[in-house]
Amino acid sequence: MYETYLNNETEYGWYLCLDSERIIGGLGVIENDFHDRKDLTPNVCALYTEKEYRCQGIAGQLLDIVVKDMKSKGITPIYLITDHTSLYERYGWEFLCMVQGDDEPDMTRMYIHR
């Protein structure tokens, strides 16, 4: 995945938030986040912020950056799956449907950003 992004063979990649040289947050954009709706692509995945940096708006900024970047490349809408029920709505994401995760017993929530 890294080589295809660095070689400009894909529009998808990884976004990082740094504090000096320390990675404190990030997320990725991939084709499918291991669910049965292969037609709903691309997917934001692996949103994470280090514990001591949470509640400072970093996740929201990362989400905003990835939405703007994908739109600048003509890629819209984008999707994500999550078990959270209030985080993503704050940043313009809408619940779309339930999807079945690969090898998962329960359905999970899928969101869309248009």
pTM over 0.75: yes
Instruction: Give pLDDT tens digits along the chain (114 positions).
Output: 556 555 666 789 999 999 999 999 999 999 999 999 999 999 999 999 999 999 999 999 999 999 999 999 999 999 999 999 889 999 999 999 999 999 999 999 999 999
For the stretch 11-26, pLDDT in tens is: 899 999 999 999 999 9
Measuring CA to CA, which residue among 103, 106, 112 is closest to residue 34?
103
**Where are the domains positioned within the chain?**
2-113
Pick the CATH number of 2-113 from 3.40.630.30, 1.10.260.40, 3.30.420.40, 3.40.640.10: 3.40.630.30
